[in-house]
A and B are shown apart, each in its own frame.
Chain A
Amino acid sequence: DAGVTQSPTHLIKTRGQQVTLRCSPKSGHDTVSWYQQALGQGPQFIFQYYEEEERQRGNFPDRFSGHQFPNYSSELNVNALWLGDSALYLCASSFFSGWTSGQETQYFGPGTRLLVL
C-alpha cells in the first residue's frame, strides 16, 4: 500500500517564474491538503481539496492555487515566485468521514524542496 507520494523531490526556480508540484494521496484517501514549511518552522496550512474543490484555505495569497483530479491526486501551483517562497512543500492526505465526525487524520508525503533564486 503506497503512502503519499510527491514529485519532484527538489526544484530550483528563479524569481517571477511559475511552479507546479504534484501529489498522489494514500490509497483510500479522498482529501488532499497542502502545507508550506520554511526552514526551522512548523508547517503552514495553504489549502485543502475535497471532491475536486477547495474546501478550506489558510492565509496565503492568490498566487497559490491548486487542483484536485478525479483520481484524488492534486497539484499545487505557485505563480510569480518570490525568494520567500523557498520552502519544503508538504502534501497530506486523509479520508473525509463526515462533516460532524471531527478531525481527519492526515498522512504526509516526503515533501518537495523548492528553492527560488
Chain B
Amino acid sequence: LAKTTQPISMDSYEGQEVNITCSHNNIATNDYITWYQQFPSQGPRFIIQGYKTKVTNEVASLFIPADRKSSTLSLPRVSLSDTAVYYCLVEYGNDMRFGAGTRLTVKP
C-alpha cells in the first residue's frame, strides 16, 4: 500500500537549519515530491517541488536521493514565523497522498 510517512513533530530554535524527511517507498518513476506549509485554519502553501537530486529556491532546499524512496526538506535559519505544519505530497498513480504532517515548533 502506497504510503507517505513523516515524523509527527520537531522542535528547533531560531537561526537553526531544520531538516524534515518524508518516506515514500512506492513512488513511481514519473512522480514528483512536493512540500507544503500550513498554518491553522489556512490552506497549504506551496514551498518546493522536486523530482531528483537537489532543488533550491528562495525559501528552502529539497534533497532527493537516487532511489527516490525518501526526500528531505531543508529550511535554512528558521524564524518563529516558520512554526507550522509541513506536509509532503506524492502522487501514486491516480492517488495523491499527503503525509500526516510534521508539526515544527521554532523556539526563541
Give the nearest-CB partner of A9 in chain B: B41
In the complex where A100-B30, A102-B30, A103-B32 touch, is A43 in contact with B98 (Cβ < 8 A)?
yes
User: How far is B31's CA from A102's CA once the two chains are assembled, in angstroms?
Assistant: 6
User: How far is B54's CA from A42's CA once the two chains are assembled, in angstroms?
Assistant: 25
Q: Which residues B26-65 have CB closer than 8 A to chain A?
A: 30-32, 34, 36, 41-46, 49, 51
B81 within 8 A of A: no
**Contact residues in A for B91 (Cβ distance below 8 Å):** 103
Q: Which residues B44-99 have CB closer than 8 A to chain A?
A: 44-46, 49, 51, 87, 89, 91, 94-99
Residue pair A109, B43 in contact (C-beta under 8 Å): yes
Residue pair B30, A108 in contact (C-beta under 8 Å): no
Which of B32, B87, B96, B100 makes the CB contact (< 8 A) with A33? B96
Which of A56, A90, A106, A111 makes the CB contact (< 8 A) with B95? A56
User: How far is B26's CA from A19's CA once the two chains are assembled, in angstroms?
Assistant: 35
In the complex where A105-B34, A105-B46 touch, is A42 in contact with B94 (Cβ < 8 A)?
no
Q: How far is the CB of A95 from chain B (nearest CB, A)?
A: 13
Per-position binary interface string of chain A over residues 18-48, scored 1 when its CB falls under 8 Å from any chain B CB and 0 otherwise: 0000000000000001010000011111001
